[in-house]
Chains A and B, each alone.
Chain A
Amino acid sequence: MALSGVDLRLARGQVYVLLGPNGAGKTTLIRILAMLEQPSAGHVRIAGVDARRRPVEARRLIGAVLHQSLLYGDLTAEENLLLYARLYDLDDARKRVREALDGIGLGRRAGDPVRTLSRGMRQCLSVARAVLHRPHVLLLDEPYSGLDCRAAHYVSRTIERAARGGCAVLLTTHELDRGLRVADRLGILSGGRMLAEMWAREVSPVALRRLYAGALADV
């Protein structure tokens, strides 16, 4: 999906929710910001670091949750997190991994291969993996899809905590209610264009729904 003329600014401590139908370009935008794809034009800057010129430095500042879990099924939960902790040069790797596992209630199953965990658990672990190195920017692509209440609750809590800690959070979803609940700011993306942006506190669920439907009808 091609994007054009999208100018997105994320502020520290702010949760930005990107709404849009399937094929709107949400995933492409996340992948460009996560530096997994090069935009044909335009640039990405993270806390003043130019992503193209200093990619390794920029990557250190980003945490991302994508559609896939990014976890090795045959490694244990602990081994997966330890691997990433070492790749991100965390000094207190073991301690942080331990805390992260306890935080998602996986302390007891730390030694089980990820393959044997439930989908919700895996998603929690995937989110824990993304915030392990305390990123400045947290990107989440449809983090709620197919989750049970407990896992969804954990995801929301992690997002809140990250934002409170000064992290800029961008998440995509096509569920309006959920989006409105966690958002500080909202954007509607469709057909590769940003159709509207608004503050969450200034819009009611009904108004948002009307706006969303209207924006889609215009395309």
Chain B
Amino acid sequence: MSTDVWRKAWVLVGKDLALEWRTRESFLVMLLFGAIVGAILGLAFELRAGGAGEVAPGALWVALAFAGVLGLGRSMAREEEDGCLEGLMLAPVDASCVYLAKVAANALSMLGVGLVLLPLFSAFFGVNLLRPGLLVVLLLGAAGLSGVGTLLSTMVAHMRGREALLPVLLLPTVVPLVIGAVRATAGMASGQSLSAVATWLRLMAVFDLVLGAAACLLYAWVTEG
């Protein structure tokens, strides 16, 4: 891809970050929602299982996936209001460029939420999730959620019942990603190195690349009116 695409994608990412910085609404809602999911899962499992630490990796990724769905919906709602996404499609920009920029912006906010949730879930579930290797897992996970989620949220943006459609479409699709993320997180929480969980990281990377490439190619078909 030409430098032109990257430059414009960067302009678009900057626009999304500026919007988010001005209102901070989507980030705060995602964060709060992630924390609520964590608290509910913590309550539900600790009362029954005793070993809350075992469910921590699963709880973290359930919370992140749900918060991600919320963030994707909000970010698309902002594009749909006043027809802004159409404005972008009017400009001499490839659909794939708009896609890449939205993926990056959405992934960044998920990554931000993940970074705050790590210490919170460490406290909630009594495990140590504050390990640098988890950054890699968060990054791969956020990229995958955002990669598929951006395509699907753009698609459902002007459908009735879009708030319900997005999770119903997105969550089954990201099952492999979540499996990999949970396993990698669990491994690292118990002190394993990055190379010990390489299988799972590779699985996540394959998911990101295959579905990201497919979504990038298909994006032009969901932005057309």
Which A residues are closer than 8 A to B by beta carbons? 31, 34-38, 56-57, 59-60, 62, 64, 66-75, 79, 83-84, 86-89, 113, 129
Which B residues are closer than 8 A to A by beta carbons? 4, 8, 11-12, 15, 18-19, 22-23, 78, 81-84, 86-94, 224-225
Q: Give the docked Cα–Cα distance between A70 and B83 (Å).
A: 5
Among A60, A64, A69, A70, residue most surrounded by chain B Cβ atoms (within 10 Å): A70
**Partner among A37, A74, A87 whose Cβ is within 8 Å of the Cβ of B8:** A87
Distance in Å: Cβ of B20 to nearest Cβ of chain A: 9
**Partner among A56, A70, A86, A113 whose Cβ is within 8 Å of the Cβ of B87:** A70
Among B87, B93, B94, B224, residue most surrounded by chain A Cβ atoms (within 10 Å): B87
Distance in Å: Cβ of B174 to nearest Cβ of chain A: 29
Q: Are B22 and A75 in contact (CB under 8 A)?
A: yes
Q: Are A72 and B92 in contact (CB under 8 A)?
A: no
Distance in Å: Cβ of B39 to nearest Cβ of chain A: 30
Q: Are B8 and A86 in contact (CB under 8 A)?
A: yes
A70: chain B residues at CB < 8 Å are 82-84, 86-87, 90
**Partner among A59, A69, A71, A86 whose Cβ is within 8 Å of the Cβ of B11:** A86
Chain A facing B: main interface SS: loop
A34: chain B residues at CB < 8 Å are 90
Q: Are A72 and B15 in contact (CB under 8 A)?
A: yes
Distance in Å: Cβ of B172 to nearest Cβ of chain A: 30
A37: chain B residues at CB < 8 Å are 224-225
Q: A68-B83, A68-B86, A86-B8 are in contact. Are A56 and B92 (CB under 8 A)?
A: yes
Nearest A residue to B79, CB-CB: A72
B82: chain A residues at CB < 8 Å are 68-73
Nearest A residue to B11, CB-CB: A86
**Partner among A35, A68, A83, A113 whose Cβ is within 8 Å of the Cβ of B15:** A83
Distance in Å: Cβ of B3 to nearest Cβ of chain A: 12
Q: Are B91 and A84 in contact (CB under 8 A)?
A: yes
Distance in Å: Cβ of B217 to nearest Cβ of chain A: 15
Q: Give the docked Cα–Cα distance between A88 and B92 (Å).
A: 6
Distance in Å: Cβ of A197 to nearest Cβ of chain B: 26
Q: Are B86 and A66 in contact (CB under 8 A)?
A: yes
Q: Give the docked Cα–Cα distance between A71 and B8 (Å).
A: 18
Among A37, A59, A129, residue most surrounded by chain B Cβ atoms (within 10 Å): A59
Q: Are A36 and B91 in contact (CB under 8 A)?
A: no
Nearest A residue to B25, CB-CB: A74
Q: Give the docked Cα–Cα distance between A93 and B90 (Å).
A: 18
Q: Are B19 and A74 in contact (CB under 8 A)?
A: yes
Q: Are A36 and B87 in contact (CB under 8 A)?
A: no
Distance in Å: Cβ of B13 to nearest Cβ of chain A: 11
